[in-house]
Structure 1
Amino acid sequence: MADLMTYAGPAPADGPGTRTGGVPLVPAGFAWPECTECDGAMQFLAQVRLGGDLLSIFMCQNDPGLCDEWDATAGGNRAYLFGADATEPAAVPGEGETLLEEVSAVEVVPVDAPAYPQAAAEWSRRTGRPRSDVLGHLGGEPAWLQFDETPACASCERPMDFVMALEEGHDWHTKINFGGGRGYAFRCAPCRAAAFLWQR
């Protein structure tokens, strides 16, 4: 069984649910992340509801390909695991590539299939909708495009738990820039830590 994240139309820019794009909901005192390589403000990609937690993902897009935004530890992306106090839209920096061009609502659809790629193909066949309307999946096993890059938690050094795979998006005009690849998000719940990377 795979829990697919499917495109569910436009969403409010500050909506509380799982979505790609828009403005992140954050706790008080949040500082918008900056890339450690170019010092520019990162682009907000998505927020995902995980029970009472909110996973938020950012990635540098100021100089695509020049900063190591695909790596979990190089400083070109950032993932946060917020709690129930993440309720206010963040103040968006005035400079840098900070927001996606489109806000997309996400519907989670369970599909009975042995793995994510088969589930996505089955959902597309069953619904008659394009494969690009599958925005990723929650839980299960990551369908790596290259090799296993499960990150270790910086605090406890244990392998982090896989949370979500994220596709570029349903519309090539407004999609996330993974170079034609796929993103992967992880968390260490005891340490309240998260990590993100992408492959192609």
Structure 2
Amino acid sequence: MSGYALKLDDSEQIQKENDLSFIGGQPRIPEDLDIPHCQLCGAEQTFFFQIAFPEGHSWQGFSMAVFQCTSCADEEEQIPEMLQVPLKGADIPKDFLKNYQRHFKLEVFRTKDAIKPREDYEEKILFRRWLLEPTTKNDEMNKVGGQPTWLLEDEAPATYNGEAPMTFLMQLSEGFQFDLVKDAPAQIRIGLRGNPEPSPNRYYELFLANQLYFFGTMEMTDPLVYVLTQI
């Protein structure tokens, strides 16, 4: 599978209807998909980024949009739930990948089914366009496809529900910051006293800004995503 380095475009940052891979702005998801809401507090989740998987990728023709709640914080929900087994070569139990999306949501859809940005979503994160540059390097920390560059040990899962093989989708580097539009509210996080409180930072962090690895099922009639973190 071909690998692509993820780079941020430094040119003029105005979202266009034909943008397919980007952070912030308004999500470009199908009209029949609701903007997800947090199962903990009920608030509309924040759109962080989306990727249209490119030619040569095992998910070619599909896109993934990533949302997380920034209106509440819970000690048990700051990162995606981890499997309680050795992670390398793990089989992910049936329904796990649907049930663990309580404080976040991973929307997967055919790229052609998303016609334009969703104007019913109020932008919180500044729009930045992703550039996907073909690469043969194995040490890229922001990339789509290829092989994962592990921060620690290899923790790639093998299958879902004992049947569907899992494939590496992409990864995002540790410490990644999502800058905010002017009037966006502060992200709620767990403070030093262990209580939820507004962050003083003018950026959001996705899953505590850990190193993020995304794996997907190879069964594309109902594609599902597993996210794991390393730090």
Q: 2:67 aligns with which of 58, 61, 71?
A: 58
Could you tell me how far 1:151 is from its partner in structure 2?
A: 8.2
| Structure 1: gaps (5+ residues) | 118-135
Q: Paired residue for 1:76?
A: 103
Residues 45 and 170 of structure 1, relative CA distance in 2, 3 Å threshold: closer
Which of structures 1 and 2 has the bigger CA Rg? 2
Count of equivalent residues = 177
**2:52 matched to 1:49?**
yes
User: Is contact 1:60-1:69 (8 Å) kept?
Assistant: no
| Structure 2: gaps (5+ residues) | 54-59, 82-99, 180-200
> What residue identity is the alignment partner of 1:90?
R
Share of identical aligned residues, percent?
Answer: 18
Q: Paired residue for 1:37?
A: 40
TM-score, length-normalised on structure 1?
A: 0.71
User: Is contact 1:13-1:23 (8 Å) kept?
Assistant: no
Q: Paired residue for 1:105?
A: 129
Taking the TM superposition and a 5 Å limit, the aligned residue runs for 1:156-171 are: 158-167=164-173, 168-169=176-177
Q: 1:185 aligns with which of 194, 214, 218?
A: 214
**2:117 matched to 1:89?**
yes
Residues 116 and 25 of structure 1, relative CA distance in 2, 3 Å threshold: same
Could you tell me how far 1:116 is from its partner in structure 2?
A: 2.7
Deviations 1:81-114 (A, max 9, x none): 21111113335467xxxx4431111112234433
User: Is contact 1:165-1:184 (8 Å) kept?
Assistant: yes
> What residue identity is the alignment partner of 1:178?
F
Q: Determine helix, strand or coil for the equivalent of 1:179.
A: helix
Provide the rounded CA distance (Å) in 2 between the counterparts of 1:186 and 1:11.
Answer: 30
Provide the rounded CA distance (Å) in 2 between the counterparts of 1:12 and 1:158.
Answer: 36
Provide the rounded CA distance (Å) in 2 between the counterparts of 1:54 and 1:177.
Answer: 18
> What residue identity is the alignment partner of 2:8?
Y
User: Is contact 1:70-1:77 (8 Å) kept?
Assistant: no
